Amino acid sequence: MATKTSRASKAPAYKCAECGWTTVKWVGRCGECQAWGTVEETGTAVARTTAATTVVEPARKIADVDATTAAFLPTGVDELDRVLGGGLVPGAVILLAGEPGVGKSTLLLDVAAKFARTAQDVLYVTGEESAAQVKLRAERIDAVAESLYLSAETDLGQALGQVEKIEPRLLIVDSVQTLSSADVDGSAGGVSQVREVAASIIAAAKRRNMTTLLVGHVTKDGSIAGPRLLEHLVDVVCQFEGERHSRLRLLRAVKNRYGPTDDVGCFDLNENGIEGLADPSGLFVSRTKDPVSGTCITVTMEGRRPLLAEVQSLLAESPNSQPRRATSGLDSSRVSMLLAVLQQRAGTLLHKDDSYVATVGGVKLSEPATDLAVALAVASAKARKPLPIRLIAFGEVGLAGEVRPVPGINQRIQEAHRLGFTHAVVPASHTGPGPVPPGFSVREVEHLTEALSLLIG
């Protein structure tokens, strides 16, 4: 009698290292993510068996699962807790990425020390510095704690051995691109090495219910280095941003399985370390005693968080036939559009003036809600007439000169009132500005000319 033999199905022999797309022949460009040079030969793989095995832990009804074991643990850094949705979740793996020198290591060392001071063991694995170098930085920023352990390792096996020995509640790896496994070919930071290191650390974190913070490098275009699979494996992906000439640092969550992704944390990076800023608006508003023409305060939304920022404008008669248009902290093309709207729709002649428009404190404003403040600042500079003190303005300006509604009108008004402002020029909407604080004056406008006639005349 002939016996049935099962044929092992052969898998495609080429796979994209970024997104996992497979093909039967080599191509230079991935057909899924369109990345060049990421398709690699994987060899012929035999499909695994689909036979069922004995169930070790039976499935439970979701109502019977105890969720208290995954409760948030505060880190001691309020701005980080805000971004994460409440704190660290036991067993969660968090990837923190950012450009070199932005302050990733300083932030995580501060988090490690504050978490260790709650009588929790913390293991800080550094592959970029020696233990003595980390100790020097820890002393400078007051991040020395009794339960904080340091390990300078670049071998994955040795790092996992330290985890087995110390059994920390929090593990920090700085960075995931510096560790390598002896069982995988390739140098540290390569696609296969990063994939193996991340998978091994994540498996250990889930098995031990150990919260893990991974530092990730970024490429020239700002994206996270390594395979895109890394972002899919972790639970939270955070981006740490900031300009080199500015002390302000912003932390955003672009992926969060345990909380929102529309909040932002603000930090001040200085010579004494890094500090959370509960009220960073003071960095973006100048402190002049007398009102100056060409300035306007606006309220921008960073996620769900309203922040006050100041827009400044300076106009000077141009000696050239083509005036200069310079911007800092604003989108240059959008500012050019607003200058054209001011001239064509509001009669503000700017074709003979060099215009310089900038923000205070190095903040970048990309939200359309800042259009009205930019237009009012330029018009104020042209008329050489200061805007009223303690005034804010926000709203999107269209090419027809109309002022369009923006999200969070009432939230912006409440934030301005909290910081001592008393007047606001806002776009008209069918829902209105909402409840207005006592003593606060709100003027709704539908067109740019209304705002100009109201404030400048």
Known binding residues for ATP are: 98-105
Q: What is the dihedral of CA 133, 135, 137, 142, to 10 degrees?
A: 180
Tell me the residue ranges of DSSP E strands in 318-415. Answer: 325-328, 353-359, 391-393, 396-397, 403-404
On the CB side of 205, CA atoms within 13 Å amount to 25
CB 110 within 8 A of CB 142: no
What residues are designated binding site? 98-105
204 CB-contact burial (10 Å; exposed 0-12 / middle 13-18 / buried 19+):
middle
Residues written for the chain: 457
How many other C-beta atoms are found inside a 10 Å radius of the C-beta of residue 419? Answer: 16
Please give the order of strands across the beta sheet that includes 211-216.
Answer: 148-152, 122-126, 170-174, 211-216, 93-98, 236-241, 248-256, 264-270, 273-276
Separate counts of helices (H) and strands (E) for the chain: 10, 21
Question: What letter does residue 389 receive in the DSSP assignment?
Answer: T
Minimal CA–CA distance to 423: which of 398, 445, 449? 445
Torsions phi, psi for 425 (to 5 deg): -110, 115
β-pairing, 148-152 with 122-126? parallel
CB 390 within 8 A of CB 439: no
Which residues make beta-bridge pairs with 270?
A: 273
CB 212 within 8 A of CB 236: no
CA separation for the pair 45, 24 (Å, rounded):
12
CA separation for the pair 170, 88 (Å, rounded):
9
